[in-house]
Chains A and B, each alone.
Chain A
Amino acid sequence: MRKLAGDFEKPIAEIEDQLEQLSALPPTEEVTEKLEGLKKKLRKVCQEVYSHLKPWERYLVARHPERPYTLDFILLLFEDFVEMHGDRKFSDDHSIVGGLACYKGEPIVVVGHEKGRNTREKIYRNFGMAQPEGYRKALRIMRLAEKFHRPVITFIDTSGAYPGIGAEERGQAEAIAFNLREMSRLQTPIIVVVTGEGGSGGALAIGVGDRILMLEFAVYSVISPEGCAAILWKNQEKKEEAAENLKVSAHDLKRFNLIDEIVPEPLGGAHRDHTEAARILDEHLYRNLQELKEVPINDLLKQRYDKFRRMGVFEKEIR
């Protein structure tokens, strides 16, 4: 049985269970007919549930343990992936993966957070929470893309930069700041895809680019709802209220012009169908890449600057 993202998925899971049991039976005419009926019902219920997700429920979907991760997308979208390791300064951070790959015959560079699937992998990947060496590795790989005039694709999926003693000793703040500055002037096209959880500065550290795409049920936020609730409400239990206030959904961010495109997900979320999720993303990714390749590099850098320059809302006081 599939793990539930949350209680809101119960009506979906019930039908999925019935479907599973039914399809184990010999395919008589009666069974086939019932199967068809159930599938129709499943689509309807999925549609219904997923079109009314509350902000906190979106977090649960974005953090679903079966959500496609960076390595899944790399396998499904690219060929000949050659993974690169290490920041050449301190160590190899396993919470960020990256390297060279081929996308529809074209060499590209890919970098992304990797959360890890089971307990052993999660520990190995530090739950996708990078330390300075992770961000420095990411930039080293992106610099290679610049050197060989290859586009960069980054996948964002992290709850945030790792809060630890070593991370602070080695300059977590500096590593993130440095990436922001250097990505803003990296002389090659950059496409950023928020695939799961866009957790604050740890996400943005590989998130400065020419196009920012975001999966339909991904979230992007300045702070986790739990963290926000703890600080502003002095009560972690207020995370649902915090999530609501923070406006973390792809639709909110598109409305605010903070992202460029929403990438639809398969019915019932990307965790239900990795292949279909990758297929839809493929369409968006490829089109954007072709568009960016046409832009002369100086125009591209100017547009990248202007894109972030415009972000922010304020009132002008009339005196």
Chain B
Amino acid sequence: MEWFKKKRKPREPIGERRLKVPDGLWLKCENCQAIVYKEEILRNSKVCPKCNYHFRISAQDRLRALFDDGKYEIIDDNIRSCDPLMFKDTKKYKERLKESEEKTGFSEAVVTAVGEVGKIPVIISAMEYNFMGGSMGSVVGEKITRAIELALERRMPLIVVCSSGGARMQEGVFSLMQMAKISSALARLDEAGIPYISILADPTTGGVAASFGMLGDLNISEPKALVGFAGPRVIEQTIHQELPPGFQRAEFLLEHGMIDMIVERKELKSVLVNCLRFMTPNQ
């Protein structure tokens, strides 16, 4: 099995945006402003014990939390973004890539791994929001497509944990077409009767929501996650109107029939195991 040869320890991410840890043992929740003992938040799956706010977590923490005993093998880790458009805004795309890599310790905005969830062999692709806003360029598109194709080949369930602002502008139409590429692959997975579960974490918008984000056999969201197509600011500017409270949050999507359920982070694994048992042949 090819992917077992590429054993490699994932590097530790250096920084995390929304969970700012001041020097010392205490930190402040960005949602309720409460000062909480750091250990308590970490023990609580990075969820605020006071207000249940789900902080964004790294792709690595996702994989650790979902796979049995936190054990998994990272695959497809050897492809890198290049710069086909030679894109330069206030900074060169190449520089942004390098900075993101240094900041997160990941080479791209998604990590795919193989392991077991409730003793069921599963492939999980987890997106890394700290890598250029989790944006999808050619590499993210390719890695998720490969994950789908591997799921097809080995008849293994696929779980994608989404967290992304959408398509990556710096790769132009290449990024846009990843939506078509991934959705086409998901059509094959669907036809083959292989489970695909989409986990929507804060935030999932744009081209990621409008492709694999919303195409799960089950779409599961974390509490209060922002999920939608257009960004709230764009909508506000278009309609010149203030948006209703809770707009585009997970609870709003559940109410409007777009997701199957909202699951708290600490319950996520056991819910997934239940669903996977239903979706896979009897062991």
Contact digits for B212-254, partner A, Cβ 8 Å, 1 yes 0 no: 1111000000000001111100110011010110011000100
The chain B residue with its CB closest to the CB of A245 is: B87
Q: How far is the CA of A173 from the CA of B256 in the complex (A)?
A: 13
Q: Quick one: which of B90, B185, B215 contacts A178, CB cutoff 8 A?
A: B215
CB of B181 within 8 A of CB of A308, answer: yes
CB of A174 within 8 A of CB of B247, answer: no
CB contacts (< 8 Å) of A222 on chain B: these are 167-169, 171-173, 175-176, 207
Contact A201/B215 with A161-B229, A317-B80 known, Cβ cut-off 8 Å: no
CB of B167 within 8 A of CB of A313, answer: no
CB of B82 within 8 A of CB of A165, answer: no
Interface band, chain A: 35 or more
Q: Quick one: which of A177, A220, A245 contacts B210, CB cutoff 8 A?
A: A177
Contact A185/B173 with A201-B206, A314-B82, A314-B142 known, Cβ cut-off 8 Å: no
Contact A316/B172 with A201-B207, A208-B184 known, Cβ cut-off 8 Å: no
CB contacts (< 8 Å) of A164 on chain B: these are 230, 235, 238-239
Report the count of interface residues on B (CB-CB < 8 A): 68
CB of A233 within 8 A of CB of B229, answer: no
Cβ of A11 within 8 Å of any chain B Cβ, yes or no, is no
CB contacts (< 8 Å) of A316 on chain B: these are 78-80
CB of A312 within 8 A of CB of B169, answer: no
Q: Is chain A's interface secondary structure helix, strand, loop, or mixed overall?
A: helix
In the complex, chain A residues 222-236 whose Cβ is within 8 Å of any chain B Cβ: 222-223, 227-228, 231-233
In the complex, chain B residues 93-122 whose Cβ is within 8 Å of any chain A Cβ: 107
The chain A residue with its CB closest to the CB of B198 is: A177
CB of A177 within 8 A of CB of B79, answer: no
Segment of A65-73, A246-254, A268-276, A283-291 in the binding face: A246-254
Q: How far is the CA of A245 from the CA of B258 in the complex (A)?
A: 35
CB of B258 within 8 A of CB of A171, answer: yes
Contact A173/B209 with A165-B247, A222-B172 known, Cβ cut-off 8 Å: yes
Q: How far is the CA of A170 from the CA of B238 in the complex (A)?
A: 18
Chosen A-B contacts, 13 in total, with CB atoms closer than 8 Å, are: A165-B243, A177-B209, A177-B212, A180-B184, A181-B215, A208-B180, A222-B171, A222-B207, A242-B89, A245-B87, A245-B89, A313-B174, A317-B80
Q: Which 5 A-B pairs have the closest CB atoms?
A: A163-B230, A312-B138, A180-B183, A184-B184, A173-B209
